């Protein structure tokens, strides 16, 4: 007999880094490697079950779809066996040699950025197969693919940066993973310890899960049960199993319906928004099932894009079992599911916001971005979605939120429009000259802080027939004539300031809305809001974005009165002051691009003022 040929390979750099972290981790919950290996076995069985539906030729067709775990205290091993799809040589190289999975990749990226210990992150994300090296001296994977002519292969690694692949002798379909435990991880060969861990993490594996022959789980599909019979613990356990996580879902939405289409739906909103924490764009994570059989765990069109923060299950008996994933994506059934589920989910959120505004506010703080994205992109549901928007407002304390509905109910009889103001922060907006008029008139203004909010406002453009307008571009002075007609002196000052400031201002006029500020700048560009301009400049720093503003002066303010007299004595100095007032106005309005020029000018003003 010839010697078995063994190929030696190096792990991809990222895997090596990941394994270093995993091996040296002081992470206390090392037990999660069991959850990870069970979940891989379960995935492999799901895939096989799916392939069976497609009526492909399958090797070892009659093997039961189950997972067997065995422990040996003597050998100090724990072994995971499944009769799933197995892996080819190429798959072994890719799946257990690189980081193909986006979850592990973002884990590594998160580690680079983060200052926390790797262990905390392992707990939050799970690191898949490689987590076995938290407890292993050596891991062996025996595998055989489901195709008639697949090879039987053995993969082995001691976690030292390399792995080996050679041909094996067995001939069962599927995968067996033998974990040889480190001295300090002996407890994982004790069946009593392992049983507890399986019950904790893997109670909802949809295949029989056996430990040394004894079945551990009940393989029921929780989403098909009546919700009155399901405890919070069961829901939580199912959620954690499905998402490989440890958190408690903040919302769950479980319903059953027969029309317009048969569906059992169980949706969860997680505790945290991973996108917001910087882990990259989420993939759809509501799996599509047909009578408990997983059709697609990450279906693209099942729900609108903005709902990608949801986890859970949609099971519809109307979906034909032998449909291919590709046709699935465009099928009219999926469109019907999409529309029915989305509508109900939005209604559910609205209801939750009424029942418990505080929890909803908390949800909105973390997941509000998705709602806004929905308003901006999901035309079909925009009208329903706008009811889910929440804002800070001039009538509320920082952190308290109002809806459009709340805003409308607080409006005076003669108020025709809804006002909002974009700013960088609460105290900046409170002190903005743009607020003076509204404060004086006791008109509520919605405060927004991010360009996406402004984008949402301009996308909506009205709510309940009331126009939504930015408080910095509205021509409020024109609504009621200024009480005092400007004097000749004031008119002349305006004309002169326009000359001094040149192209940068569209117009300088005496204000009828300013109370405390000497001057204020307003966006006089009807085509583009200041927020949009900010975005455009951010995207392309060299972009020529027009920044025409209107300057209003407060003729009652001492500074303006002084400016008139300074202009008579020293026009040059008055010019510098006018420039400065203009910059101050831009700064206060949040329009200033480059505040650096200001400092030098202030110094020269101070110098010259000494000599007036
Ligand atoms: P994930 O399960 O999130 O994809 P893992 O690191 O746990 O990441 O596993 C990597 C890949 O290895 C899996 O996607 C799968 O293709 C393959 N794999 C792991 N275990 C098995 C198994 N028991 N049977 C078949 N394939 C497996
Ligand atoms: Mg996995």
Average pLDDT (222-232) is 94
For residue 96, the CA-to-ligand 2 centroid distance in Å is 11
Q: Which residue has the higher pLDDT, 523 or 105?
A: 523
Which of the residue ranges 38-52, 166-180, 244-258, 582-596 would you say has the lowest mean pLDDT?
A: 582-596
pLDDT tens track for 545-603? 566 788 999 988 988 988 999 999 999 999 999 998 998 888 888 777 666 667 677 77
CB distance 175 to ligand 1 below 6 Å? yes
Label residue 332 by pLDDT band (50, 70, 90).
confident
pLDDT confidence of residue 539: 66
- Residue 474, pLDDT > 70, answer no
On the question of pLDDT at 61 being above 70, the answer is yes
Look at 2-11, 383-392, 405-414 and tell me which has the smallest mean pLDDT: 2-11
The pLDDT of residue 11 is 93
Ligand 1 lined by 555 (C-beta under 6 Å): no
Averaged pLDDT, 306-316: 96
User: How many angstroms separate the alpha carbon of residue 572 from the centre of ligand 1?
Assistant: 75
Structure-token pair, residue 171: 């001939």
Indicate if the pLDDT at residue 2 is higher than 60.
no
From the CA of 104, the nearest ligand is: 1
- In this predicted structure, the answer to whether residue 117 has a pLDDT above a threshold of 60 is no
The reported pLDDT for the residue numbered 1 is 46
pLDDT of residue 551: 92
User: Ligand 1 atom 10: the closest Cα is on which residue?
Assistant: 95
Indicate whether residue 95 lines ligand 1 (CB < 6 A). Answer: yes
Which of 362-366, 439-443, 479-483 is predicted least confidently?
479-483
Output the CA–CA distances (angstroms, integers) from residue 356 to 75, 267, 351, 410, in the order listed: 55, 19, 9, 21
Confidence class for position 70, pLDDT limits 50, 70, 90: very high
* Ligand 1 atom closest to Cα of residue 80: 23
CA of 322 relative to ligand 1 center, distance in Å: 24
Would you say residue 323 has pLDDT above 70? no
Q: How would residue 514 be classed by pLDDT, with cut points 50, 70 and 90? A: confident
pLDDT above 90: percentage of residues in the chain: 54
Which of the residue ranges 48-57, 115-124, 343-352 would you say has the lowest mean pLDDT?
Answer: 115-124
d(CA 418, CA 230): 45
Euclidean distance between CA atoms 153 and 534, whole angstroms? 57
Helix spans in 471-589 (H): 476-479, 488-501, 530-539, 558-569, 571-589
Q: Ligand 1 center to residue 129 CA distance, Å?
A: 7
Site of tokens 């063994």 = 6
Secondary element (H or E) of residue 10: strand 6-10
List the shell of residues around ion ligand 2, using CB closer than 5 Å: 40, 128
Q: Whose CA is nearest to atom 16 of ligand 1?
A: 95
Asked if residue 79 has its Cβ within 6 Å of ligand 1, the reply is no
- Per-residue pLDDT tens over the stretch 142-180: 999 999 999 999 999 999 999 999 999 888 999 999 999
Burial of 69 per CB tally in 10 Å (0-12, 13-18, 19+): buried
Identify the pLDDT of residue 468: 93
Which candidate, 44, 27, 39, places its Cα nearest to that of 128?
39
Atom of ligand 1 lying closest to residue 131 CA: 6
State if residue 128 touches ligand 1 by the CB under 6 angstroms criterion: yes
pLDDT at 21: 80
Give the model's pLDDT for residue 175. Answer: 98
Question: How many Å apart are CA 229 and CA 262, to the nearest integer?
Answer: 21
| Distance, C-alpha 600 to centroid of its chain | 43
Q: Sort 581 into a burial class: Cβ within 10 Å, 0-12 / 13-18 / 19+.
A: buried
Ligand 1 and 102: CB distance under 6 A? no
Q: Cα(128) to centroid of ligand 2, in Å? A: 4
Top-confidence residue, 345 or 274: 345
Out of 122-126, 482-486, 496-500, pick the least confident: 122-126
Please give the Cα distance from 441 to 417 (Å, whole number). Answer: 14
Peptide bond into 171 cis (omega under 30): no
pLDDT recorded at residue 103: 57
CA–CA distances in Å: residue 97 to residues 19, 37, 105, 559? 11, 16, 13, 71
Residue 406 has pLDDT above 60, yes or no: yes
DSSP 353-393: HHH-HHHHHHHHHHHHHHHHHHHHH-GGGHHHHGGG--BEE
Asked if pLDDT for residue 124 goes beyond 60, the answer is: no
pLDDT-based confidence at 120, cuts 50/70/90?
low
* Residue that is written with structure tokens 């939120």 in the block: 401
Question: Closest Cα partner for 65 from 46, 78, 87, 37?
Answer: 46
- Residue 41 CA, closest ligand 1 atom number: 23
3-state class of 594 per DSSP? Answer: coil
pLDDT category, 249, cuts 50, 70, 90? very high
pLDDT band at 381 (very low <50, low <70, confident <90, very high): very high
CB 102 within 8 A of CB 280: yes
**For residue 597, what pLDDT is reported?**
67
Give the pLDDT of residue 111.
Answer: 65
pLDDT reading at 374 higher than 50: yes
Return the residue whose CA atom lies nearest to atom 27 of ligand 1: 40
Measured in Å, residue 154 CA sits from the centre of ligand 2 at: 19
For residue range 435-451, list pLDDT tens digits in order: 999 999 999 999 999 88
- Per-residue pLDDT at 118 exceeds 60: no
The pLDDT confidence band at residue 106, using thresholds 50, 70 and 90, is: low
Pocket-testing residue among 65, 102, 129, 244, ligand 1, by greatest number of atoms within 8 A of Cβ: 129
Element (H, E) at 335: helix 332-355
Residues whose CB is less than 8 angstroms from the CB of residue 186 and which lie 6 or more positions away in sequence, other chains included: 76
Alpha carbon of 521 to those of 147, 236, 334, 514: distances in Å?
Answer: 72, 53, 51, 11
> Alpha-carbon torsion 27, 30, 33, 35, what sign?
negative
Q: Considering only residues 544 and 357, tell me which one the structure prediction assigns the higher pLDDT.
A: 357
Q: Does residue 114 surpass a pLDDT of 90?
A: no
Nearest CA residue ID for atom 14, ligand 1: 95
Q: Please, are residues 416 and 401 in contact by the beta-carbon 8 Å criterion?
A: no
pLDDT higher than 70, residue 69: yes
Q: What is the 3-state secondary structure (H, E, C) of 100-116?
A: CCHHHHHHHHHHHHCCC
Mean pLDDT of the chain: 87
Measured distance CA(158)–CA(180) in Å, rounded? 9
44 Cβ below 6 A of ligand 1: yes
Q: Which ligand is nearest to the CA of 80?
A: 1
């Amino acid at each position: 007999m010839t010697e078995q040929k063994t190929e030696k390979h190096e792990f991809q750099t990222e895997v090596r880094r990941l394994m270093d972290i995993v091996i040296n981790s002081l992470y206390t919950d090392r037990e999660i490697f069991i959850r990870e290996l069970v979940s891989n076995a379960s995935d492999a069985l799901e895939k096989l079950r799916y392939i069976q539906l497609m009526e492909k030729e399958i090797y070892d067709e009659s093997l039961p779809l189950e997972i067997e775990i065995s422990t040996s205290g003597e050998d100090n091993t724990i072994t995971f066996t499944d009769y799933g799809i197995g892996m080819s040589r190429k798959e072994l190289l890719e799946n257990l040699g690189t980081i193909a999975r986006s979850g592990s990749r973002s884990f590594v990226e998160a580690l680079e950025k983060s200052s926390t210990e790797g262990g905390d992150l392992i707990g939050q994300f799970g690191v898949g197969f490689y987590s076995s090296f938290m407890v292993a001296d050596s891991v062996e994977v025996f595998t055989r693919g489901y195709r008639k002519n697949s090879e039987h292969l053995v993969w082995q690694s001691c976690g030292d940066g390399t792995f080996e692949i050679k041909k094996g002798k067995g001939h069962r379909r599927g995968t067996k993973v033998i974990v040889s435990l480190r001295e300090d991880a002996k407890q994982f060969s004790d069946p009593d310890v392992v049983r507890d861990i399986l019950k904790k993490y893997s109670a909802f594996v949809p295949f029989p899960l056996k430990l040394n022959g004894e079945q551990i789980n009940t393989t029921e599909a929780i989403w098909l049960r009546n919700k009155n019979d399901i405890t919070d613990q069961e829901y939580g356990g199912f959620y954690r199993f499905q998402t490989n996580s440890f958190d408690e879902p903040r919302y769950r939405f479980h319903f059953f319906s027969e029309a317009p289409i048969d569906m059992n739906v169980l949706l969860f909103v997680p505790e945290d928004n991973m996108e917001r924490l910087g882990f990259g764009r989420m993939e759809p994570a509501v799996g599509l099932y047909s009578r408990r059989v997983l059709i697609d765990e990450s279906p693209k069109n099942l729900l609108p894009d903005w709902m990608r923060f949801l986890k859970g299950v949609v099971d519809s008996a109307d979906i034909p079992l032998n449909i291919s994933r590709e046709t699935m994506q465009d099928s009219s059934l999926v469109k019907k599911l999409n529309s029915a589920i989305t509508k109900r989910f939005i209604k559910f959120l609205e209801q939750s916001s009424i029942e418990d505004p505080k929890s909803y506010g908390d949800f909105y703080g973390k997941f509000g971005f998705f709602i806004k994205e929905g308003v901006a992109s999901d035309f079909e549901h925009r009208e329903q979605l706008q009811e889910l928007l929440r804002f800070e407002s001039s009538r509320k304390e920082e952190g308290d939120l109002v809806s459009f509905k709340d805003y409308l109910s607080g409006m005076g009889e003669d108020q025709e429009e809804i006002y909002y103001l974009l700013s960088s922060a609460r105290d900046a907006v409170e002190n903005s000259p743009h607020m003076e008029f509204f404060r004086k008139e006791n008109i509520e203004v919605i405060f927004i802080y991010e360009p996406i909010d402004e984008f949402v406002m301009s996308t909506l453009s009205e709510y309940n027939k009331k126009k939504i307008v930015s408080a910095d571009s509205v021509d409020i002075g024109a609504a009621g004539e200024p009480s005092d007609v400007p004097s000749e002196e004031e008119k002349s000052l305006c004309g002169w300031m326009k000359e001094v400031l040149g192209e940068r201002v569209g117009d300088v006029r005496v204000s009828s809305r300013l109370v405390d500020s000497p001057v204020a700048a307003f966006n006089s560009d009807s085509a583009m809001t200041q927020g949009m301009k900010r975005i455009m400049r951010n995207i392309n720093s060299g972009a020529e974005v027009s920044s025409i503003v209107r300057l209003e002066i407060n003729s009652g303010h001492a500074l303006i009165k002084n400016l008139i007299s300074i202009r008579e004595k020293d026009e040059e100095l008055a010019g510098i002051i006018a420039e400065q007032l203009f910059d101050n106005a831009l700064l206060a309005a949040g329009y200033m691009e480059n505040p650096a020029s200001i400092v030098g000018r202030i110094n020269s003003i101070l110098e010259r003022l000494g000599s007036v």
